[in-house]
Amino acid sequence: MTIDPRTDPEVDAGPVVGVDEALPPALPTGLDATPETLGGYMQRWWQGVRAGELGSLPIIVGLILIAIVFGTLDDTFYVERNFTNLLLQIAATATIAIGVVFVLLIGEIDLSVAYVSAVGGVSMTLLLRPDGPNWPWWAALGVGLLVTTAIGLVQALVITKAGVPSFVVTLAGLLIWNGVVLILTTQYSTSGTVRIQDDTIVGIANDFLSDAWGWVVAAVGVGAYALTQLQTARSRRARGLDAKPLSVIVLQVAGLAVVTGAAVWYANRDRGVPSVTLIVLILFVFWSFVASRTRFGRHVYAVGGNAEAARRAGINVDRVRIAVFMIAGFMAGLGGIILASRLRSVATNAGGGDLLLNVIAAAVIGGTSLFGGRGRVVSALLGALVIGSIANGMGLLNLATGTKFVITGLVLLAAVLVDSLSTRRRAARGMM
């Protein structure tokens, strides 16, 4: 029999590694000794990193670098108020980017998300006008989301049923929805700006949790994480499968608790944790669950990895594609509403500027592959955090717009380079 280099325990160390304990020890599979200890786990993780399984490591290193660079260059970067500002600034980008991650996972692209998000914000705002329809906030918000989800559906139908590439369909969508935003905003106001006067909607991105609630949310989040980790480990052990050692779980939970605690403490020294941050975290948990724990999520990855294999396995590929574009539309709508709430208005330039660039860059910087099948929902958050903190830092330094674009572009390039180099490393090690 051939021994692949990959079956060598030195090399084979993905982030999740199941092990054939029942194999006769004489066989050189090398994986029958699971390191169910902290040391073994760390060793395996490090081997994975060396083999190119970087996970979120580069982006965390990147964030630390950004924090050091801007912290040194500008005194106000570390002011509490700037931290809560940053959280407010990245909320909409992260929300829209979650939808983009799903689209990238099936190997498609959605260039229309930015203007679709504006359509969501504008339709909600117009329905709220006190001198107009004057709808209650929940109805206007619901219709806004319905409209953007429907846009996703229509674009997906053209893509799947007519077989037009998503790049072209959503490029057309970009123009169409930009036009719709312009028509609507200029029709209902001479200045091109429509203000939002509903307190609940304005509150979405302008309210803060009280200090106590901030702590409660942090505690609930960390507790839920600990519970699911323990639950998973227990159910795997019950089946005789290898599981994360308790020491690793304890360390991870402690790490999460420290980071969350520090963030809440820091935010509470200013105005508190923004409500919208809580919304984004809930969305993150929900969509992460959908992507990694449900049958639908599995099918999304399968369609992105090998659509033909998915089709032959009995998966309705078109239905998965349509659902994904609807998710992108829904999340774009939500992002647009968050953005409108933060600005307390919508204007003719809604959805324009660098919004599209930022949401796609966020997903890609976070580690989602443009070729489909690889990536995680968390990459939307991490990517948005990187893009947001660079923009924030450069804003504090009063850099010219041109300089900002150049730097953001270089960061995007660096992220893609890290990804392609690590892919090459995996390939060289036989991981691909």
Rg for the chain, CA atoms, rounded: 23
Evaluate whether 177 touches 119 at the Cβ level (below 8 Å): yes
Which of 81, 161, 312, 424: binder of other proteins (CB under 8 A)? 312
Q: How many Cβ atoms are within 10 Å of 234's Cβ, its own excluded?
A: 11
Evaluate whether 37 touches 244 at the Cβ level (below 8 Å): no
Decide whether 414 or 432 has the Cβ nearer to other proteins. Answer: 432
Evaluate whether 120 touches 181 at the Cβ level (below 8 Å): no
The Cα–Cα gap between 333 and 325 comes to 12
> Is 27 among the residues that bind other proteins (CB under 8 A)?
yes
Decide whether 7 or 197 has the Cβ nearer to other proteins. Answer: 7
Structure tokens at 421: 């180099």
Decide whether 20 or 199 has the Cβ nearer to other proteins. Answer: 20
The one segment of 27-35, 165-173, 268-276, 277-285 that binds other proteins by CB under 8 A: 27-35
- C-alpha distances (whole Å) from 122 to each of 174, 193, 237, 421 are 15, 10, 52, 42
Size of the site for other proteins (CB under 8 A): 52
Task: Render 123-186 in DSSP notation, one character per residue.
Answer: HHHHHH-TTTT---HHHHHHHHHHHHHHHHHHHHHHHHHS---HHHHHHHHHHHHHHHHHHHHH
* 345 SS3 class: strand
The Cα–Cα gap between 99 and 169 comes to 17
Decide whether 17 or 69 has the Cβ nearer to other proteins. Answer: 17
Could you tell me the smallest distance in angstroms from the CB atom of residue 43 to other proteins? 16
Which of 131, 163, 190, 295: binder of other proteins (CB under 8 A)? 295
Structure tokens at 71: 């912290």
Q: Quick one: CA dihedral 268, 270, 272, 273, positive or negative? A: negative
Could you tell me the smallest distance in angstroms from the CB atom of residue 416 to other proteins? 18
> Is 102 among the residues that bind other proteins (CB under 8 A)?
no
CB burial class (10 A; 0-12, 13-18, 19+) of residue 238?
exposed
Question: Which residues ranging from 28 to 67 are in contact with other proteins (CB under 8 A)?
Answer: 29-31
Question: Which residues ranging from 398 to 427 are in contact with other proteins (CB under 8 A)?
Answer: 426
Pattern of binders to other proteins over 360-379, x per CB under 8 A? ------------xxx-----
Decide whether 12 or 198 has the Cβ nearer to other proteins. Answer: 12
Could you tell me the smallest distance in angstroms from the CB atom of residue 23 to other proteins? 6
CA angle, residues 426, 42, 245, in degrees to nearest 5: 120
The residues, ordered by sequence, that sit 6+ positions from 44 with a Cβ below 8 Å of its Cβ are 13, 17, 35
Decide whether 259 or 428 has the Cβ nearer to other proteins. Answer: 428
Could you tell me the smallest distance in angstroms from the CB atom of residue 342 to other proteins? 34
The one segment of 25-33, 86-94, 128-136, 192-200 that binds other proteins by CB under 8 A: 25-33
The one segment of 147-155, 269-277, 293-301, 360-368 that binds other proteins by CB under 8 A: 293-301
> Is 431 among the residues that bind other proteins (CB under 8 A)?
yes
> Is 239 among the residues that bind other proteins (CB under 8 A)?
yes
Which of 194, 315, 346, 363: binder of other proteins (CB under 8 A)? 315
The one segment of 127-135, 233-241, 357-365, 399-407 that binds other proteins by CB under 8 A: 233-241
Structure tokens at 396: 């504090």
The one segment of 65-73, 96-104, 231-239, 411-419 that binds other proteins by CB under 8 A: 231-239
Chain residues binding other proteins by CB under 8 A are: 1-4, 6-7, 12, 14, 16-20, 22-24, 27, 29-31, 235-236, 238-241, 293-299, 301-302, 304-306, 308-310, 312-315, 372-374, 426, 430-432
